[in-house]
Structure 1
């Protein structure tokens, strides 16, 4: 609970400092850290980040290479705010031991929990998550988000384990009410934001 709470308080402070420019949800972007994706997956990941930023969303990643890196790059092109959740305990460990980038990140949380611990904190620190391509680490983050009933967006036709999610959901027989699919980055972003906004309205009604 500590990391998500700290990030939430940080966002509140940023809203005041920036005059309320950051007024959206915290949307995570998960995906392959290596190049096992389709040829146009990096471009699509960058567009996901860009469109999230243009909608006023905060883009959260696992502060790694590959698809999350491209999403953060796109978010900065869209004049957005980016947050990275690192597996390392410090900046030095982040770049020397894990050899991970931080070029397009405005705020980094160094967890010191390694990849598996980072994955949990990353997902718990978001309001929703978009998945692009991916391998076993991405699948791990997907199952965490799914069990937590997070709104989920699946960017289709990007390769890797994400192209198998539909089959996994069918076999698991757990439903998919909180999941949206699309092969177009902009349309997927719009669908996911609509889903998050709907859930936020329903939650507000329940809390009255």
Structure 2
């Protein structure tokens, strides 16, 4: 399946300086696996992930950005966000808070790298939405605090949280978890679209 995998991370701050290569490698790993990368169409770590995806020659997966803006003009002039390294930008018009929810709910999995308050919002939304979640340990910020956070609060589906220190291994683990989650679905190649899915049984 061509899963949509979100890379969630800080737009600015120390983790961007420290972990930009890790974010880049996450995007690259997602594209190399033929999956679609989703991000907040923003600067910082998500943009490095988009650049990583775009570095893969003949990639099959797309890079989709979810903008807080309602139009291209607002995206550029009000929010001052990038427009390159995206195959498509969804102008949600929901500001940052609404954009975060739309981004996570539209993704099959969410991977946290670094991260601040916005990433915490996306992480909490992913947990509540029962998404497969990957956490890149060693990337600083929220990512390194997640294990402590989950030990101290009651959270749903903690079993869906996957940890690793290597971007490529983490993406591989997330994809395997998605394959397991969707094991009861198969591709229906007899219909008009080879990507149409039907439930087994």
TM-score normalized with structure 1 length = 0.85
Q: Aligned pair count?
A: 186
Structure 2 counterpart of 1:162? 143
Unaligned stretches of 5+ residues in structure 1: 1-22
Q: Distance in 2 between matches of 1:74 and 1:39?
A: 16
| 1:62 and 2:40 matched | yes
CA deviation profile, 1:22-70 (whole Å, cap 9, x unmatched) = x520001100000321754100100000011010100000100111000
Structure 2 counterpart of 1:95? 76
Structure 2 counterpart of 1:12? none
- Asked if structure 1 preserves the Cα contact closer than 8 Å seen for 2:127 and 2:158, the reply is no
Superposed, 1:42-121 pairs within 5 Å as: 42-78=20-56, 79=59, 80-121=61-102
Q: Distance in 2 between matches of 1:61 and 1:162?
A: 16
| 1:178 and 2:135 matched | no
Structure 2 counterpart of 1:187? 169
Q: Distance in 1 between matches of 2:149 and 2:109?
A: 20
Cα drift, residue 172 of structure 1: 1.2
Q: Distance in 2 between matches of 1:59 and 1:197?
A: 17
Residues 38 and 108 of structure 1, relative CA distance in 2, 3 Å threshold:
closer
Q: Distance in 1 between matches of 2:99 and 2:78?
A: 15
Structure (1 or 2) with the greater helix fraction? 1
- Asked if structure 1 preserves the Cα contact closer than 8 Å seen for 2:3 and 2:35, the reply is yes
Unaligned stretches of 5+ residues in structure 2: 187-197
Residues 124 and 33 of structure 1, relative CA distance in 2, 3 Å threshold:
same
Superposed, 1:115-130 pairs within 5 Å as: 115-130=96-111
- Asked if structure 2 preserves the Cα contact closer than 8 Å seen for 1:38 and 1:158, the reply is no
Secondary structure in 2 matching 1:129: strand
TM-score normalized with structure 2 length = 0.88
Query: Alignment RMSD, CA only?
Result: 1.7
